Amino acid sequence: MDLGIKDQVAVITGAGRGIGAQAALTFAAEGCKVAVWDKDLDKAQEVTEKVRAAGGQAMALSGSVGIRADVEASVQQVLSAWGTVHILINNAGFGDDAPLVDMTDEQWDRVINGNLTGPFYCARAVAPTMIRQRYGRIINISSRTHQGEAQKVNYCAAKAGVLGLSRALAVELGPHEITVNTIAPGIVRTERVLAQAVYEGLNQRAQERQLVKRSAEPSDIVNGMLFYASATSGFITGDLLYATGGRLS
């Protein structure tokens, strides 16, 4: 099936590993020019080289999505090279967990900045180009934990904020033919998640509550990204897709 995204420019944050890296490889395979953006430039370059080795077009970007100057410089780098942005995937994110009474101001600020302020900065940076061309796809990654989870008050608040951000952007940008949608994954088998000492317990509890009794792979999330980026989804905006195997709590 032709997704209608060949030769489009896709900017993917947090693309040096995990879901973001899989997204970069997949979108490149669909014919997109991919900006592989990660705080770790070495990781971004590794993914960029994999894309190029497979015959795709990619550039590596570094910088923090939570720093406005980094965001503006990175987006300008894409515009200078390729002239436009068609797809923005706000995938970068991280947690820094602690019980409420022990959570520091720094933990709160860092997680809110990276998971919520970052997508705002990125959307604001690409919006003028998308508005001028009257076309755009913005895909924000939230989490099932936006519903609430112990010792994650900062992360849950940030990911709930992503839903509000997405819907507000959908309202404002819809008249310009720009769609904004959100994906809320559950536990996904990425290197970072698998390296956690508590992974086996987390995965067991997740599968007990899932309807689909298997672990999620990065490709399961990327398939949702492909749908929201495609030409066939142009009448869908402000939407939330749970990629959790049927687990909602």
Instruction: List, in order of start, the domains of the chain with CATH numbers.
Output: 9-243 (3.40.50.720)
Region 160-181 average pLDDT = 98
The DSSP output letter for 100 is: G
Q: What percentage of the chain carries pLDDT values higher than 90? A: 83
CB neighbours of residue 94 within 10 Å: 13
**Mean pLDDT score of the chain, rounded to an integer?**
94
Tell me how far apart the alpha carbons of residues 20 and 36 are, in angstroms, rounded to a whole number: 8
- Spatial neighbors of 239 by CB under 8 A, at least 6 apart, are 181, 182, 228
Spell out where 50-90 has E strands.
57-62, 87-90
pLDDT digits (tens, 9 = 90+) for 49-93: 999 999 999 999 999 999 999 999 999 999 999 999 999 999 999
The pTM of this model reads 0.95
The pLDDT score that the predictor gives to residue 42 is 98
Kindly tell me if the per-residue pLDDT of 248 is higher than 70.
yes
Active site residues: 155
Tell me how far apart the alpha carbons of residues 141 and 119 are, in angstroms, rounded to a whole number: 9
The residue written with tokens 């080289």 in the block is 49
**HSE (CB half, 13 Å, CA atoms) of 146?**
22
